[in-house]
Amino acid sequence: AQKVTQAQTEISVVEKEDVTLDCVYETRDTTYYLFWYKQPPSGELVFLIRRNSFDEQNEISGRYSWNFQKSTSSFNFTITASQVVDSAVYFCALSDPSGYSTLTFGKGTMLLVSP
């Protein structure tokens, strides 16, 4: 069975601080996909990144960066110089590519960025 753990329930930072959201996953599959989604107060799920299990390169997109470490089954997400607009719930998710596989989400981390 697949499982995603986001140990941080809530994080509060002050604007311009860097913040890292942790994600640890469990799967027996050798091929799988990892994701991060952002859910602002308005409720929609905003796709941020997808990473497949064979690509362990870290990725940077503007103020966002992701650290995929297969050895520790972690896929952490860092926001550099956080802004108030980053305040949201962030979900890490996992899927396996067999057939019409669904996404397994972590419980989410609520990030509150104060001015």
Partner 1 sequence: AAGVIQSPRHLIKEKRETATLKCYPIPRHDTVYWYQQGPGQDPQFLISFYEKMQSDKGSIPDRFSAQQFSDYHSELNMSSLELGDSALYFCASSLGEAGGRGEQFFGPGTRLTVL
Name the residues that contact partner 1, by CB under 8 A: 33, 35, 43-45, 47, 50, 52, 91, 93, 95-108
Measured from the CB of residue 26, what is the shortest distance to partner 1 in angstroms? 15
Measured from the CB of residue 81, what is the shortest distance to partner 1 in angstroms? 27
Query: Contact, 86 vs 79, CB < 8 A?
Result: yes
Q: Which is nearer to partner 1, 73 or 95 (by Cβ)?
A: 95
Measured from the CB of residue 21, what is the shortest distance to partner 1 in angstroms? 14
Q: How far is CA 92 from CA 61, 70, 77, 114, 115, in A?
A: 17, 15, 9, 23, 26
Measured from the CB of residue 43, what is the shortest distance to partner 1 in angstroms? 6
Q: Retrieve residue 112's tokens.
A: 């509150």
